Structure 1
Amino acid sequence: MKIKFGLPKEDPTFDEELIGDKWTPLKEPKSIGLASLLSIPFMLINLIICWVVIEATSGLSLKDFGVTDSSVTISINGSHLLWLLGLIVVHELIHLIFVPHFIKSKKTYIGITWQAGFVLTEDIISRSRFLVISFAPFIVLSILLPIVLSLVGMLTPLMKVLILFNAIASCVDMLNVYLIMTQVPKKGRLINNGFKTYWKAA
């Protein structure tokens, strides 16, 4: 595993090798901006699912966001930013722990840029493992976590906001899930060259 502070770049030579070995490029957005735009429907779906979970466990009201009948109060301080940074780190670490042999792998990367945090492996993984890696942070942080925190009386307004933020931030993961499920056979395998994804049937 390697830590990076910039996005891994595609290797043109490796690209030629993969094409020559019959790997098929996944039809996917060519930029983070386009991926974010295409992810908006998934953002709304994630938000609704998470909202329903929080509402069912402890309730959710506008007061949790600083909105009352007479005023709107939004308070952001340094600790809130640290909580947000911590959420991003935990989100990516959850991705990471589901990557096979991530500790020993020399082709697995974790990093953060001004655009986003990321986890990337250039090792070959199965379609099913890719889906687990993609789903994991949303399920753990935006579905299971509010249930657990509610049971122990720790689902505070701040935690609700962070959990909802994670649901929103997971939208690109859900776009990736959709692309893989609609293009890659069930027993297929995947490999990355930078952020460019390829697949091959079993």
Structure 2
Amino acid sequence: MLREVITVKIRNKIPTHNEEKNALLLKDGWILIKEPKNIIMSIIFSIPLMIILGLISVCIINLFSPITLENFGINLNNISITINIVDIIIFIIFIYIHELIHLIFIPNFLNSDNTFLGLTWFGGYAYTEEIITKKIYILIAVMPFLLISVISILILGPMGYLTPIIKFICIFNAVGSSVDFFNILLVSIQVPNKSKIVMNGQLSYYKTN
């Protein structure tokens, strides 16, 4: 018997909302979550969280290994910056690992026709139009920060494996997780517990029953 091959679905454009689906969801009692109208505004509103999350990662790293400018290829004595191509490649890979972590925490992501990984010129994203609970939404959003910028440091730090590129990735991932945490704040404030959430492009909705 042939085994069915299951693959991750990939798209290369940002999902846009469908007006017909929007009308159907609102008619069915779904409530639109108030969010910034575009990713640029989300990033701007997330700046305070960038600072907070970045500092959290820095503090955890400093428990095991001090952070210096030399760690990031900056030498003030000679006023020079060293860029390693291999480190850049590793850094880019981790940008997509961040999104893959989002993806694998989406329930039934491999079998869903409405769940996919986006690969675009600015990076990547994970997206689903499946109905999920508020708790699952928060779990999906928070896991890349916890796994890369907290747990990995706690594991690698005592082993002495916090290399400069690992430190940079952990800090950058923490800063990059700010939009995820901003979305968590929006959902936590607006969406009652035990509610369900669904996406329609860049629009999000919730329903209490």
Instruction: Pick the TM interval, shorter chain.
Output: over 0.9
Asked if residue 104 in structure 1 is aligned to residue 122 in structure 2, the reply is no
Asked if residue 132 in structure 1 is aligned to residue 147 in structure 2, the reply is no
1:36 equivalent among 43, 55, 75:
43
Q: Distance in 1 between matches of 2:122 and 2:13?
A: 10
Q: Distance in 2 between matches of 1:10 and 1:47?
A: 32
Q: Which amino acid aligns with 2:45?
A: L
Matched length? 202
Cα displacement (A) at 1:129:
0.3
Runs of 4+ in 1 over 4 A off after TM superposition: none
Aligned to 1:163: 170
Q: CA RMSD in A?
A: 1.3
Q: Percent identity?
A: 36
Secondary structure in structure 1 of the residue aligned to 2:80: coil
Aligned to 2:65: 58
Aligned to 2:4: none
Aligned to 1:75: 82
- Cα contact 2:69–2:75 (8 A) shared by 1: yes
Aligned to 1:145: 152
Q: Distance in 1 between matches of 2:137 and 2:125?
A: 14
Normalised TM-score (structure 2): 0.92
Secondary structure in structure 1 of the residue aligned to 2:81: coil
Cα displacement (A) at 1:68:
4.6
Q: Distance in 2 between matches of 1:143 and 1:109?
A: 26
Cα displacement (A) at 1:197:
0.4
- Cα contact 2:197–2:206 (8 A) shared by 1: yes
Q: Distance in 1 between matches of 2:27 and 2:58?
A: 47
Residues 171-190 of structure 1: matches in 2 within 5 Å?
Answer: 171-190=178-197
Secondary structure in structure 2 of the residue aligned to 1:57: coil
Aligned to 2:3: none
